[in-house]
Amino acid sequence: MEVKAKQLDSVNATASVKIPSGIIKNEVENLAKKASKNIKMDGFRPGKVPVAAVLKRYAKELTQDAEQNLFKSAVDNALKELKKEAKELVGEPYFEKFDRQNGEIVAELALSFKPEFKLDGYEKLIPEYQTPKVTKKEIDEKKEELLKRFATPEAIKTKRALKEGDFAKFDFEGFVDEKPFDGGKAENYILEIGSKQFIPGFEEGMVGMKIGEEKDIKVTFPKEYGAPNLAGKDAVFKVKLHEIQELKIPELDEEMLKKLLPNEEKPSLELLDEKLKEQIKNEKFFKLVNDELKAKFADALIAEYNFDLPRGIVEQETDMQFRAAFNTFDEKEIEEIKASKEKYQEKRDSFKEEAQKSVRLTFIIDELAKLRKIEVSDQELVQAIYFEAYRYGMNPKEHLDNYKRQGALPAVKMALIEEKLFNDIFMPKTEKSSKKQKEDK
């Protein structure tokens, strides 16, 4: 077997491999000899199966295994020639050329290695920002929002028309082509006007009604409506309004403070304001980080640190971005891509620049995380995936197993590391010292 390795740049290399048919044949026979000692085959005693019988029955499988072994040896030889170690490889070596003639294999393997670079002076790239301020108005609005969660609808005593935000208690019956339909009738139904629970036009048609009033409301069911017999049909709802209710927001008294601050020994209005101020500040801070600072910092890092990228990883990322965007293409574009290899390649390659940026940033973030000692434990990883499952009403264990099957756990872990890293970089100094004090305790 001939192996000639060539370093293309600091992280990419190729290995030209030539495997004569005789070497492949010898490897196949060696595997067959080993298998004959353990394999079970009808008509032969265990351990006494002839090699010829094994070769005849399992020729295809033995050849595949033999070639795999030989290419593994070829990679080992290439690494020795390049004076590299297997642990320096990123991604699996892949074929750029593969040709089989008269039993002989001639191939070219692409090998990629992890880039080595230093992030000296990265601190100067961190964008400056003002720590978010919180106003009294924002605290009052947050308090009102909290109190609304404890609010209950109560019938109004004044005579006025129904408006958006009210709760209406009413009877209704729906008709399509002047005939009632299943599920289109109810009595003493309560609906929040403006909640968009009913089909478009219904709640708007009720606005302005007075208690005791009857009204016909004309609407059209959406074309994508769940019931096929109603989808896209014009309908008339006969409505009678019985009662108008509005939310009664409770007073912020001692009992309510206990509900809003259940873990505090001495709940007070001042303590509530302080906690709401901290909550609003954190919400603003994380929005600032996610909407603005992360992107600015990432762009600055990518522009500042230029190093060779592993081609194999870039190609994988290009494929991933291309597949993710495929369903966003219009029909004409999809047809052109399917009909022409040139169009397919052209469209796929249009994602390469973004893929390179993504790969470069991934390596930078990995290095930054090491510098700042940011880690994500296996427990944190599982907790994050379970939390995601709970949020979307999924089975947590099945959700975790899906990630494992897809081989996506490393990507999830990297996303968590990235989140922790950016929060650590941008977290206001006062919060860092407060956090450290808590950890020291």
Task: Identify whether 177 is part of a domain.
Answer: yes
Based on the domain organization, do 230 and 276 belong to the same domain?
Answer: no
Q: How confident is the model at residue 354 (pLDDT cuts 50, 70, 90)?
A: very high
Q: Which of 188, 213, 248 is a domain's end point?
A: 248
Based on the domain organization, do 88 and 168 belong to the same domain?
Answer: no
Full DSSP string of 179-246: EEEEEEEEEEEEEETTS--SPTTHHHHHTT--TT-EEEEEEE--TT-SSTTTTT-EEEEEEEEEEEEE
**Best CA proximity match to 112, nearest among 100, 94, 128, 125:** 94
Q: Is this model's pTM higher than 0.75 or not?
A: no
Tell me: pLDDT of 434 over 60: no
167, 211 in Cβ contact below 8 A? no
Tell me: pLDDT of 292 over 70: yes
Tell me: pLDDT of 430 over 80: no
CATH of residue 368: 1.10.3120.10
Structurally, how many domains does the chain consist of? 3
Based on the domain organization, do 294 and 157 belong to the same domain?
Answer: no
Q: Average model confidence (pLDDT) for the chain? A: 91
Q: Which residue has the tokens 């006494």?
A: 48
Based on the domain organization, do 319 and 379 belong to the same domain?
Answer: yes
State what percent of residues in the chain have pLDDT above 70.
97
Over its C-alpha atoms, the chain yields an Rg (Å, rounded) of: 34
Task: Identify whether 263 is part of a domain.
Answer: no
The pLDDT, as a whole number, for residue 56 is 87
Based on the domain organization, do 297 and 384 belong to the same domain?
Answer: yes
Q: How confident is the model at residue 428 (pLDDT cuts 50, 70, 90)?
A: low
pLDDT tens digits for range 23-81: 999 999 999 988 888 888 887 877 778 888 888 888 999 999 999 999 999 999 999 99
Based on the domain organization, do 285 and 165 belong to the same domain?
Answer: no
Task: Identify whether 69 is part of a domain.
Answer: yes
Task: Identify whether 257 is part of a domain.
Answer: no
Tell me: pLDDT of 429 over 60: no
Q: Which of 112, 135, 168 is a domain's end point?
A: 112
Based on the domain organization, do 99 and 179 belong to the same domain?
Answer: no
Task: Identify whether 258 is part of a domain.
Answer: no
Based on the domain organization, do 244 and 273 belong to the same domain?
Answer: no
The pLDDT, as a whole number, for residue 433 is 41
Q: How confident is the model at residue 346 (pLDDT cuts 50, 70, 90)?
A: very high
Neighbours of 373 (CB within 10 A): 7
Tell me: pLDDT of 173 over 80: yes
Tell me: pLDDT of 228 over 50: yes
Range of the domain at 20: 2-112
Based on the domain organization, do 275 and 241 belong to the same domain?
Answer: no
Based on the domain organization, do 239 and 94 belong to the same domain?
Answer: no
The pLDDT, as a whole number, for residue 352 is 95
Based on the domain organization, do 241 and 291 belong to the same domain?
Answer: no
CATH of residue 32: 3.30.70.1050
Q: Which of 90, 112, 134 is a domain's end point?
A: 112
Task: Identify whether 299 is part of a domain.
Answer: yes
Task: Identify whether 125 is part of a domain.
Answer: no
Task: Identify whether 206 is part of a domain.
Answer: yes
Q: Parallel, antiparallel, or unpaired: how do β-strands 214-220 and 12-19 relate?
A: unpaired
CATH of residue 177: 3.10.50.40
pLDDT tens digits for range 93-145: 999 999 998 889 999 999 999 999 999 999 999 999 888 999 999 999 999 99
Based on the domain organization, do 242 and 287 belong to the same domain?
Answer: no
The pLDDT, as a whole number, for residue 351 is 95
